[in-house]
Structure 1
Amino acid sequence: MFRTYLKLIKPGIVAGNLVAVTGGYFLGSSGDIRWITGMLVAISVALVISSACAANNILDRDIDALMARTRDRPLVKSEISTVAAKAIVLCLGIGGVALLYAATGQYLPAALILVGYAVYVGLYTSLLKRKSVYGTLAGSLSGAIPPVVGYCSASGQFDAAAITLLVMFSLWQMPHSYAIAIFRAADYQAASIPVYPAIKGWPAAKRQMAGYIAAFSATVPVLSLLGYAGPIYLVPSLAIGLYWLRLAFQGFSATDEVQWARKIFISSIAVIVVLNVAMALTALSIR
């Protein structure tokens, strides 16, 4: 039963966002790391994201039944009732936001996580996902909120670094999502979800992905240029970003586009891990 409920909250997505919120928190700490607060911030964000993922499962249970990768989800198989799932959504969401405010004593992080929640569940899942090719853009904004919440929880302010994180992580989300849309094309077609690669074509999607990755790579040095991070952050982050960009350009001559898309996806995970570890090491080096 525990594993059933665990699948409801999409643990892979929660884990990925925990990496991001932790990296943002370390960056905002500027060497003065409050470990207990950081742990509570991470737990609270994990709870809110778990709530959002469960809400997504409730709203998407009809189309989840049509896709190979989602047809085994608990709500599709009636392993969890919709009423129970809604109760989980409320408990995790309210508990997470309350814990975030209690841990930081600030309204800003709580307000930011609520904005991210509203964009993901309301704008993306409920309004745009099934209707617009640009739904991914809304999803990218919500996906960029966790590192900003982590940063603002530690720094207590929404400044140039917070804006940079928001832009950088939003840019990262786009090729990451488009890659999934390419190698999971059959699923999106079965559920009639109008993702950009399916509607505009893979060649157009490749150009978009290369552009987003180039913009992401150009944004990476901004934290260092503004004085928020040093070489410990810049060198590995820029190197992995440029590698990702090189891989993106290889897509224009790829003979196996699905395999190439999988490489872009796997590389995107490596990029985000390196980026957040580099931000953490920057903070630890200041001590």
Structure 2
Amino acid sequence: MKLKRYLQVTKPGIIFGNLISTAGGFLLAARGHVDLGLLLATIIGLSLVVASGCSLNNCIDRDIDSKMARTKNRVLVTGAMSFKAAFWHGIVLGIAGFGTLWLWTNPLAFACALFGFVIYVGVYSLYMKRKSVYGTLVGSLSGAVPPVAGYCAVSGQFDMGAAILLLMFCLWQMPHSYAIAIFRFKDYEAANIPVLPVVKGISAAKQQIVLYILAFAVATAMLAFGGYAGYGYLAVACATSLWWLKMALSGYKSSTDDRVWARQVFFFSIITITALSVMMAVDFQIPELCCTPAPGSGVLAALGKLVA
């Protein structure tokens, strides 16, 4: 079916994941005062931009996709969709997405989306992914853009809250991506993609996963201690980060099957970031400029007062 092919080339799973994080950043900044029109414009615009980036990424990666078991059935590899059709599909989606953001959000949200798009398509896909072990780190910048753009669509400024979100989601991308590279090791090796596990070994990747999860745990707590989220968010952030860290450390056991372990770390990374995106959306608070934050002034606290 033609429509299915046009949908598949945009990587719907990635769009959905970014939609959740975008809404989380938006609702964190909105602090209960939600402009539904702005929310829809932000989500639709960013989803179209992400879809555009994924379509163009499929065009760029069609040669290496043919060498990997995970991607060998993508529509450009099998010939179910032509390069020309996928390319112009991506261009049209990009124009629609950037146009939506420009007309109905604000210049900062538009700039955030443009930055992420250029990094993902121009820097990561065209060069860093194939040439450098640091490609994952560069790619993490683009992956962190949606929640920041959602936040900036409301705030109209890149403040400390936006900076913490950028840091959080960049740090999260690293263990998430390294875990994929471990359980898909043979794919990356066959395609000659210089990810850390292939270049420096799985042991080095395990060390990096643990260190990045530790840094991620600190960054998530900063959102509460900085006065942007409440105790409910902080409790979930601590619980998920510590459990994720525990899983990562279990990879050092001599009996560990690296592929099974990496899959577990990967799947829990999705649970972690989804839970935090939801919690930042419902347990927001208004940051105090010079005082110690009083977590719990968000939706959860309001519900508690109603019950009381």
Fold equivalence (TM over 0.5) = yes
The percent of aligned pairs where both chains have the same amino acid is 48
Q: Which amino acid aligns with 1:264?
A: V
Question: 1:36 Cα shift?
Answer: 2.3
**1:110 maps to 2:113:** no
TM-score, normalised to structure 2, is 0.91
Determine whether 1:162 maps to 2:166.
Answer: no
Instruction: Kindly provide the amino acid, as one letter, of the partner of residue 43 in structure 1.
Output: I
1:177 Cα deviation (Å)?
0.3
Q: Deviations over 1:106-153 (max 9, x none)?
A: 110001100000000111110111111110001111100000000001
Matching residue's letter, 1:138: V
User: CA–CA distance in 1 between the matches of 2:262 and 2:49?
Assistant: 30
- In the other structure, the counterpart of 1:182 is 182
RMSD: 1.1
Q: Does the CA-based 8 Å contact 1:133-1:195 persist in structure 2?
A: yes
TM-score normalised by length of structure 1: 0.97
Separation in 2, partners of 1:152, 1:275: 18
Q: Which amino acid aligns with 1:193?
A: I
Secondary structure of 1:66's counterpart equals: coil
Deviations 1:212-269 (A, max 9, x none): 0000001111111111111121111221111101111111115211110000000000
Q: Which residue of 2 aligns with 1:11?
A: 12
User: What amino acid maps onto 1:99 in structure 2?
Assistant: T
The one-letter code of the counterpart of 1:61 is: R
- The residue that corresponds to 1:97 in the other structure is 98
Corresponding residue for residue 127 of structure 1: 127
Instruction: Tell me which residue corresponds to 2:57.
Output: 56
Q: Judge which range, 47-56 or 2-11, deviates more.
A: 2-11
Matched with 1:42 is: 43
Cα separation, 1, equivalents of 2:238 and 2:44: 29
Rounded to whole Å, the distance in 1 between the matches of 2:36 and 2:276 is: 20
SS in 1 for 2:81: coil
Deviates more, 1:85-94 or 1:174-183: 85-94
**More off after superposition, 74-83 vs 114-123:** 74-83
- Partner Cα distance (2:238, 2:20) in 1: 18
Name the SS for the 2:75 alignment partner. coil
Q: Write the letter of the residue equivalent to 2:149.
A: V
- Asked if 1:233 is matched to 2:205, the reply is no
Query: Aligned partners of 1:103, 1:30: CA distance in 2, in Å?
Result: 20
Question: Is the deviation greater in 167-176 or in 244-253?
Answer: 244-253
Query: Aligned partners of 1:25 and 1:203: how far apart in 2?
Result: 38
Runs of 4+ in 1 over 4 A off after TM superposition: none
Aligned counterpart, 1:142: 142
In the TM superposition, 1:273-284 aligns within 5 A as 273-283=274-284
Give the corresponding residue for 1:79.
Answer: 80
Quick one: distance in 2 between partners of 1:129 and 1:221? 31
> Match for residue 219 of structure 2?
219
> Is contact 1:232–1:281 with CA below 8 Å preserved after alignment?
no
The alignment partner of 1:31 has SS state of: coil
State the alpha-carbon separation in 2 of the partners of residues 180 and 68 from structure 1.
13
Aligned to 2:197: 197
Counterpart of 1:20 in structure 2: which amino acid?
A: S
Displacement of 1:24 in angstroms is 0.4
Return the alpha-carbon distance in structure 2 between the equivalents of residues 110 and 141 of structure 1. Answer: 16
The structure with higher relative contact order (CA 8 Å, sep 6+) is 1
What stretches of structure 1 of length at least 5 have no aligned partner?
Answer: none
Aligned counterparts of 1:85 and 1:267: Cα–Cα separation in 2:
32
Residue ranges of structure 2 left out of the alignment (5+ in a row): 285-297, 303-308
Q: CA deviation at 1:5?
A: 1.1
Contact 1:55/1:89 (CA < 8 Å) preserved in 2?
A: yes
